[in-house]
Amino acid sequence: MSVSYPKKPQQILIRVTDRDIEGGLAGTVQAQEDMTLADLLSNYIMRLGFETTFASGIIVQLLTNGKVRVDFSRVVERLELLNMNDRVTSPQAMALFEDFMASLRSPDDGKKGKTMRIVVQKPRG
């Protein structure tokens, strides 16, 4: 059963605020940009990988709560809906994310085997 949602990702505006991490804490603002959810999703797909549960979790939290903080190794991103009326239910947020991802897949994707990239890092000691 398909779940509908009120707006497409191209219609939802997000404010992205980047801060450096200084001593484990978010430091001064390095950049602030407004973009569409579609652009944000495209950026995360490039950064995190195409079939990632991380991107899904981030987007669902953003769309249900209106804001989310994402910690990367050297930068903290604060994502916030510019219009809090764009918040949706969790099932609607998942449907929006899945539909966006499906729109990016080509018909040949089902015929190819997927290559996963796994990064193994030495634990910090």
pLDDT at 1: 47
pLDDT at 51: 59
Q: Worst-scoring range by mean pLDDT, 37-41, 93-97, 103-107?
A: 103-107
What is the DSSP-derived secondary structure letter of residue 6?
S
Please report, rounded to a whole number, the percentage of residues in the chain having pLDDT higher than 70.
78
| Cβ burial, residue 112 (10 Å; 0-12/13-18/19+) | exposed
pLDDT at 107: 60
Token digits for 19?
Answer: 């801060």
